[in-house]
Amino acid sequence: MTVKIDTDRVFNLIEQKHPSRVILNAPGGLLRQTMDLMRVVELKYGVQCVLVGDTCFGICDTVDKEVEKLGASLALHIGHNASVESVGDYTYLVDAKDDIKFESVVQKSIPLLSKYKRIGLATFSQHLDELEPVKKQLEGAGFEVYLGRENSLLLASQTFGCDFSTVFNNAEKVDAFCYLGQSEFHAVGVALATGKPTFLLDPYLEEMRDMKEEAAERQKRAVLGVYKALDARVFGVITGLKEGQMMVGRSKWITNRLQANGKKVIQLAMRDITPDRLAQYTQIEAFVQTACPRISIDGFTFSKPVLSIPQADALVGLLEGRDMKDFLHRPKWIELTVGQIPRKQVAS
């Protein structure tokens, strides 16, 4: 039960690219392994490595723009693999895989799933290799099992916390989704976006958990946030500065719509959107942030409404006399700019 970084890929990249210096970033859970990797690279190749210590929650947190500033020529983004191998001018995605098996938890879940016939499977980066074995096991127990389709960013049945596009269309075919892993965060996202019963299959605790209550709670808070923002007169519209979630066009559109509906808007840009940072803007009554939607949907500690893109769409709809639809029910809550960062020619 270990998460292992694909060191062979790292070695191959270093041997091909002969970088002057390497920068790395990784999510909190992989920092120890990443620092071990840095030591190995420095000893094996004599190349300096720098760990970028800013927050790294997802594939949107690449640090391509920091490479030149730090005198490096290669960036390794650890732990968020996808269907693209590289982004920007210098950044390569490096897999980290968990070798835990799901056989036991699936066996225990089969009787609990018996009222469903058609099951959709989803997971995040680290358990992608387990999709096929779990599919076979469930099919062996008599279920019809559906995997999601790979697309230009995500691998088959892979989801991010904001992008469910691989499995979204399967919602019409299945009775329920099973999400492989321990991440309630990801499983709740599937439940909210698809509206289907969603169960987390946790291979560590060997238990199946229904995401119904967590999803209902977040849905309720998301709707409440929109209604609370409706009466605000002064809005802060925040563009995120992280390179994979920089929605400049969305921020402009939302600003225009709010202004057209009589709201005053102060536009802000920031890298990390936290209660502490927002507390100083006392004159602002509600915020819209076009960066990571989960900051709003899971952010229970803000003292004022902080709306995500789907919530802002719902707010604009209400202001313009339209009904509030099920605004979280969509394949993506943000159009990530990962993979769309323009490339310039870099000598290899």
245 makes contact with ligand SF4 (CB under 6 A): yes
Q: Which of the stretches 5-13, 155-163, 197-205, 275-283 binds ligand SF4 when contact is defined by CB under 6 A?
A: 155-163
124 makes contact with ligand SF4 (CB under 6 A): no
30 makes contact with ligand SF4 (CB under 6 A): no
Three-state SS sequence of 76-128? EEECCCCCCCEECCCEEEECEEECCCCHHHHHHHHHHCCCCCEEEEEECHHHH
Q: Which of the stretches 18-26, 67-75, 159-167, 262-270 binds ligand SF4 when contact is defined by CB under 6 A?
A: 159-167
Query: Residue 238 CB: number of other CB atoms within 10 A?
Result: 24
Q: Which of 294, 297, 332, 339 binds ligand SF4 (CB under 6 A)?
A: 294
Closer by beta carbon to ligand SF4, 121 or else 334: 334
Closer by beta carbon to ligand SF4, 48 or else 337: 337
Q: Which of 22, 100, 334, 339 binds ligand SF4 (CB under 6 A)?
A: 334
Q: Are 209 and 199 in contact (CB under 8 A)?
A: yes
Q: Which of the stretches 69-77, 160-168, 246-254, 265-273 binds ligand SF4 when contact is defined by CB under 6 A?
A: 160-168
How far apart CA 29 and CA 188 sit, in angstroms, is 20
Closer by beta carbon to ligand SF4, 229 or else 295: 295
Q: Are 76 and 65 in contact (CB under 8 A)?
A: no
DSSP result, 155-212: -TTB--SSB-HHHHGGGGT-SEEEEESS-HHHHHHHHHHH-S-EEEEETTTTEEEE-H
Q: How many residues bind ligand SF4 (CB under 6 A)?
A: 11
How far apart CA 213 and CA 193 sit, in angstroms, is 15
How far apart CA 206 and CA 185 sit, in angstroms, is 18
Q: Which of 24, 37, 41, 60 binds ligand SF4 (CB under 6 A)?
A: 60
Nearest approach in angstroms of CB 29 to ligand SF4 is: 14
Q: Which of the stretches 6-14, 116-124, 158-166, 215-223 binds ligand SF4 when contact is defined by CB under 6 A?
A: 158-166
Closer by beta carbon to ligand SF4, 128 or else 145: 128
Q: Which of 49, 57, 225, 243 binds ligand SF4 (CB under 6 A)?
A: 57
314 makes contact with ligand SF4 (CB under 6 A): no
How far apart CA 92 and CA 9 sit, in angstroms, is 10
Q: Sheet harboring 74-78: ordered strands across?
A: 48-51, 21-25, 74-78, 91-94, 86-87
328 makes contact with ligand SF4 (CB under 6 A): no
Dihedral sign computed on CA atoms, order 151, 154, 160, 162: negative
- Residues contributing to the site for ligand SF4 (CB under 6 A): 57-60, 160-162, 245, 292, 294, 334
